[in-house]
């Protein structure tokens, strides 16, 4: 395409720049929700266009969840069968059946009208630690431990201008797991002098709403035994459970990115062919 008039070129360049900025507004809008919290970016296996979950990491994360977090945090939207679905932790069906069978599920009524307990099945949802929200609050000093299913997508930190524009090109979408990792590793005993701690709360400058969080530091070194030789540190535990939570929030992430690559290749080739066709069509006319 040859431009006859410079203003057309200018218009288009500026239009593109403007569009980019307008798109960028999205994130400044989105980001504002998350106060002015700074979250450090971590390396994640699932980041970027070819990102995939690390199966071993998801299994370790699941281990942390079951042995630790699940005492207070539910995982309402997930069923046991999700554990064996493609792109996930990669448990075998037998393993998942065993995991499910460990929980007792209230079912019924049976033909006599009685409710009964039975071992969990693949299709059962993860059991909630609380019968209801009120019970959860009552056991936790009034603070309800949030459900884990979507937490990795429901938390994000302010990116600010111009970072949010760069994020479009770097495909940064890991604000949630970054935040979770930062929170789990962010507890500090050095409470600044100007912070007056409320009873029952814990100091954590990486918390999204203020610096005082109801949850006590949940992780400590060597608390959980890893069978694959991974370091048994708070850092590793936090990383693993954050990755697990990202998978729980976005179980089709791997499939999505893989499909995206194929779609983009197709669209780019298609665009190239259309461009050549357009040149050919317009070759004989001045415009």
Partner 1 sequence: MSGHSSSYDPQNGVMKWLDARLPLPRLVHDSFVSYPVPRNLNYAYTFGGMLSIMLVVQIITGVVLAMHYVASADAAFNSVEHIMRDVNYGWLLRYVHTNGASMFFIAVYVHIFRGLYYGSYKEPREVLWILGVVIFLLMMATAFMGYVLPWGQMSFWGATVITNLFSAIPLVGESIVTWLWGGFSVDQPTLNRFFSLHYLLPFMIAGVVILHVWALHVTGQTNPTGVEVKQKSDTLPFTPYATIKDAFALVVFFVVYAWFVFYLPNFMGHPDNYIPANPLVTPAHIVPEWYFLPFYAILRAVPDKLGGVLLMFGSIAVLFVLPWLDTSKVRSASYRPTYRAFFWVFVVVAIVLGWLGSKPAEGGYVIASRIFTAYYFAHFLILLPLLGIFEKTKPLPGSITESVLGDGGSKGGSAMPSGAAASPETKG
Residues that bind partner 1 (CB under 8 A): 1, 3-5, 7-8, 11-12, 14-15, 18-19, 21-23, 25-35, 49, 77, 82, 149-150, 153-156, 161, 167-168, 171, 173, 175-176, 209, 249, 251-252, 256-257, 259-261, 263-264, 267-268, 270-271, 274-275, 277-278, 281-282, 284-287
CB of 179 to partner 1, least distance (A): 9
Closer of 168 and 216 to partner 1 (Cβ): 168
Closer of 187 and 247 to partner 1 (Cβ): 247
Closer of 30 and 191 to partner 1 (Cβ): 30
CB of 11 to partner 1, least distance (A): 6
Separation CA 225–CA 217 (nearest Å): 18
Separation CA 23–CA 30 (nearest Å): 11
CB of 234 to partner 1, least distance (A): 25
Closer of 237 and 244 to partner 1 (Cβ): 244
Closer of 44 and 237 to partner 1 (Cβ): 44
DSSP-assigned letters across all residues of the chain: ---SSHHHHHHHHHHHHHHHHHHHHHHHHHHGGGTT--------TT-STT----HHHHHHHHHHHHHTGGGT---TT-BGGGGGSTTS----HHHHHHHHHTSEEEE---TTS--EEEE--TTSBPPPSSSSHHHHHHHTTTPPPPPSTTHHHH------TTHHHHHHHHT---HHHHHHHHHHT---S---TT--PPTT-EE-TT-SSSSEESSPP---TTSS--TT----SHHHHHHHHHHHHHHHH-TTHHHHHHHHHHHHHHHHHHHHHHHHHHHHHHTTS--
Closer of 234 and 249 to partner 1 (Cβ): 249
Separation CA 171–CA 161 (nearest Å): 16
Closer of 239 and 257 to partner 1 (Cβ): 257
Sequence-distant (6+) residues with CB within 8 A of 197 are 191, 203, 212
Closer of 25 and 71 to partner 1 (Cβ): 25
CB of 27 to partner 1, least distance (A): 6
CB of 172 to partner 1, least distance (A): 8
CB of 204 to partner 1, least distance (A): 17
CB of 278 to partner 1, least distance (A): 5
Separation CA 239–CA 197 (nearest Å): 28
CB of 117 to partner 1, least distance (A): 25
């Amino acid at each position: 395409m040859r431009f006859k008039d410079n203003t057309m070129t200018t218009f288009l360049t500026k239009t593109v720049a403007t569009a980019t900025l307008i798109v960028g507004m999205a994130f400044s809008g989105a980001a504002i929700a998350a106060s002015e919290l700074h979250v450090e970016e971590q390396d994640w296996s699932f980041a970027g266009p070819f990102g995939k979950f690390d199966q071993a990491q998801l299994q370790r994360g699941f281990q942390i969840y079951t042995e630790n977090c699940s005492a207070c945090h539910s995982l309402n939207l997930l069923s046991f069968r999700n554990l064996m679905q493609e792109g996930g932790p990669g448990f075998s069906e037998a393993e998942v059946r065993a995991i499910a069978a460990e929980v007792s599920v209230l079912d019924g009524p049976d033909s006599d009208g009685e409710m009964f307990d039975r071992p969990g099945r693949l299709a059962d949802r993860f059991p909630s630690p609380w019968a209801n929200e009120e019970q959860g609050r009552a056991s936790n000093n009034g603070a309800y431990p949030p459900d884990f299913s979507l937490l990795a997508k429901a938390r994000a930190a302010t990116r600010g201008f111009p970072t949010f524009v760069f994020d479009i090109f770097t495909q940064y979408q890991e604000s949630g797991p970054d935040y979770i990792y930062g929170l789990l590793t962010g507890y500090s005993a050095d409470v600044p002098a100007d912070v007056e701690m409320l009873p029952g709360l814990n100091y954590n400058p990486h918390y999204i709403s203020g610096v005082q969080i109801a949850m006590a530091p949940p992780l400590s070194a060597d608390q959980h035994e890893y069978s694959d030789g991974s370091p048994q540190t708070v850092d590793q535990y936090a990383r693993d459970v954050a990755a697990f939570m990202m998978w729980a929030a976005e179980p089709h992430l791997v499939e999505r990115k893989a499909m995206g690559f194929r779609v983009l290749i197709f669209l780019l080739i298609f665009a190239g062919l259309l461009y050549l066709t357009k040149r050919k069509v317009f070759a004989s006319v001045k415009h």
